[in-house]
């Protein structure tokens, strides 16, 4: 079967990582790079593929790709997805699916009128640690999930917000839409829909329009509760990237970032320790037993790409559709509203 021909749209930070995954895939090949800057032409030259300054130029060319991966600033995701999907090109959108729920719903209506597959790039669902955590939670070995404690805290360098990525300073950027949306998707993946959220904003040191962090209290539709601290301006080893070592640009610490509490056992991630009173009385007087759950091998971007190719061919069911991406955005939008008054927001029921 012929490889899936994929255009990389956007050659900033995340675009080259996707391009490498496609270039190394036995199921896909890079068709072209689309980016208006010299960075785009440099990446295209390195890969030996055509370079286009815009999606319009790409679609006006003699041939078009089977699919595209959108790696552009958040506020461009909806318009580019509409343009590509209207031309019959399958799309993988880097999260978030959009910058607000209203435009996300509008995009969903557009997608329903096409025959293309549209996935959202919440690639952490494919991370081996999260796959292992999902398997443990779904098995019931922890019992009924009572609560979860989550952490995502690190220090972004000042140049992270410099041009041409100064959009990260405003409300279409910020730690909620750039980082917390990943965490919300993982919480959905593990525990299902969220019913309400209370948010308290952290102190702002940069003076940007975008928020820098928050302390959150979550209630899931299942009845489980959770607490989450997120901040992008503090030195900390407790975050997904440092814990898993997934991002080669961020040094690995291996420190835990999730603790999941069930009626029969508790689990910490990514050390994958399961603590229980197995074989003894369930009492605080008894000694807890520690087991380590196995974790498989795999590179999340490559696993996500393989899944995307299978979905395009009709061989797999999408694990993260545009609707799923919109669900994560709905919760993040509720968090941002809660931050305005350091208050609680009930979340309108949504589909996963």
List per-block mean pLDDT (blocks of 10 residues) for the chain, which spans 352 residues. Answer: 94 93 96 95 96 97 96 94 97 94 95 95 96 98 98 95 89 89 97 98 92 97 98 97 93 97 98 95 95 94 96 94 95 95 93 84
Predicted pLDDT at 252: 96
Domain-embedded: residue 333? yes
Shared domain check, 89 and 140: no
Q: How far is Cα 200 from Cα 293, in angstroms, rounded to an integer? A: 34
Predicted pLDDT at 248: 86
Q: Which residues pair with 218 in a beta bridge?
A: 197, 226
Q: Mutual orientation of helices 77-86 and 101-112 as an angle, nearest 10°? A: 0
88, 89, 93, 97: CA torsion to nearest 10: -10
Q: With the C-alpha atoms ordered 71, 72, 74, 78, is the resulting torsion angle positive or negative?
A: negative
**Count of domains forming the chain:** 2
Domain-embedded: residue 352? no
Shared domain check, 275 and 164: yes
Shared domain check, 305 and 342: no
Please report how many Cα atoms fall inside a 13 Å half-sphere around the Cα of residue 249, on the Cβ side: 7
Q: Is the pTM of this model over 0.85?
A: yes
Q: How far is Cα 43 from Cα 208, in angstroms, rounded to an integer? A: 31
Shared domain check, 158 and 120: no
Shared domain check, 103 and 182: no
Predicted pLDDT at 131: 97
């Amino acid at each position: 079967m012929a490889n899936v021909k994929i255009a990389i749209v956007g050659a900033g930070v995340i675009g080259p990582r996707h391009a490498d995954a496609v270039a190394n895939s036995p199921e896909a090949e890079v068709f072209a790079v689309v980016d208006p800057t010299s960075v785009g032409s440099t990446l295209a030259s390195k890969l030996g593929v055509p370079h286009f300054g815009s999606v319009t130029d790409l679609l006006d060319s003699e041939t078009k790709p089977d699919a595209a991966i959108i790696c552009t600033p958040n506020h461009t995701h909806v318009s580019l997805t509409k343009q590509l999907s209207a031309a019959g090109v399958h799309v993988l959108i880097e999260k978030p699916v959009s910058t607000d729920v209203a435009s996300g719903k509008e995009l969903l209506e557009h997608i329903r009128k096409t025959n293309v597959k549209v996935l959202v790039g919440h690639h952490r669902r494919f991370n081996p640690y999260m796959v292992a955590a999902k398997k443990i939670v779904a098995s019931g070995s922890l019992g009924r999930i009572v609560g979860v404690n989550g952490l995502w805290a690190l220090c972004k360098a000042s140049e992270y917000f410099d041009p041409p990525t100064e959009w990260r300073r405003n409300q279409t950027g910020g730690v909620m839409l750039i980082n917390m949306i990943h965490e919300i998707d993982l919480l959905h993946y593990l525990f299902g829909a969220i019913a309400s959220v209370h948010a308290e904003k952290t102190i702002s040191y940069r003076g940007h329009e975008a928020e820098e962090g928050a302390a959150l209290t979550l209630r899931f539709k299942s009845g489980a509760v959770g607490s989450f601290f997120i901040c992008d301006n503090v030195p900390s080893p407790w975050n997904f990237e440092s814990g898993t070592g997934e991002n080669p640009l961020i040094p690995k610490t291996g420190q835990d970032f999730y603790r999941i509490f069930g009626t029969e056992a508790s689990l910490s991630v990514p050390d994958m320790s399961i603590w229980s009173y197995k074989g003894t009385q369930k009492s605080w007087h008894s000694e807890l037993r520690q087991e380590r759950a196995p974790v498989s091998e795999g590179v999340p971007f490559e696993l996500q790409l393989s899944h995307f190719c299978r979905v395009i061919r009709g061989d797999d069911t999408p694990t993260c559709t545009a609707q799923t991406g919109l669900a994560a955005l709905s919760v993040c939008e509720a968090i941002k509203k809660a931050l305005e008054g350091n208050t609680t927001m009930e979340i309108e029921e949504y589909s996963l």
